[in-house]
Amino acid sequence: MKKIILACLTLPVLLAACAAPPADNVSSAHITPRQCQDLAALRQGAEPTHQRLGSEADVLLTAGYNSVTDADIYPGALHHAQRRVNYWYAKDCQNIKPG
């Protein structure tokens, strides 16, 4: 009986995930110039200030990472979001100097 209930609860979630748009559609989001400056500074070894770490966290959230809901699939979800941020960084932050 428990297996049937679990299957009934799991199936709608799986179907919703299949109907969701592909993750590549999220790539239309852009990193702001301020976030580009902060990420560039962190990548070059600058002091991790509150502002810089906040920018990094905001970009990871935009990339789909949520430390609360993704805790059971850590570090995979974090690595996926980091790869997406790296793609955005290369695309959006080419001419930005570290801030």
Task: State pLDDT tens for residues 53-91.
Answer: 999 999 999 999 998 988 888 999 999 999 999 999 999
Query: What is the C-alpha to C-alpha distance for residues 49 and 52, in angstroms, rounded to an integer?
Result: 5
- Classify residue 98: in a domain, yes or no: no
- Classify residue 21: in a domain, yes or no: no
- Classify residue 81: in a domain, yes or no: yes
- Give the total number of structural domains in the chain: 1
Enclosing domain of residue 70: 29-92
- Classify residue 75: in a domain, yes or no: yes
Read off the pTM.
0.66
> 38 or 72, which is more confident?
38
- Classify residue 43: in a domain, yes or no: yes
**Per-residue H/E/C for 26-56:** HHHCCCCHHHHHHHHHHHCCCCCCHHHHHHH
- Classify residue 16: in a domain, yes or no: no
- Classify residue 62: in a domain, yes or no: yes
- Classify residue 42: in a domain, yes or no: yes
